Amino acid sequence: MCDLHLDFSELTFLDSAALSRLLMLHRRTSQAGVALHLDHRPQFLDRILQATGLFEHFDLTRSDAETGDPGLLGQARSGESGGR
């Protein structure tokens, strides 16, 4: 299985159209056997995904929230590459 990492470190805004595109991208990558990772997510993105019930649809094993709170979602798995 391949991995696709999207870097959200400079994300400042996300509207419903962008959220819809993320869902479409997730659907297409899943069908192609590619794992989609949303890396360096700001806290507001995690809150949006949780509030909309979409958090579980994405591979969100990394916690790179702006505050650096490692307890928010967990840490990268042992041996997981940080490359993009």
- pLDDT tens digits for 45-60? 999 999 998 988 776 7
What is the rounded average pLDDT of the residues 76-80?
Answer: 37
**Cα(6)–Cα(41) distance, integer angstroms:** 9
Domain hosting residue 33, numbered range:
1-84
Instruction: Give SS3 for 48.
Output: helix
**Cα(21)–Cα(69) distance, integer angstroms:** 27
For the chain, the average pLDDT equals 77
**Cα(57)–Cα(80) distance, integer angstroms:** 20
Q: Is the pLDDT of residue 21 over 90?
A: yes
Position 70 scores a pLDDT of: 40
Q: How confident is the model at residue 17 (pLDDT cuts 50, 70, 90)?
A: very high
**Based on the structure, what is the number of domains in the chain?**
1
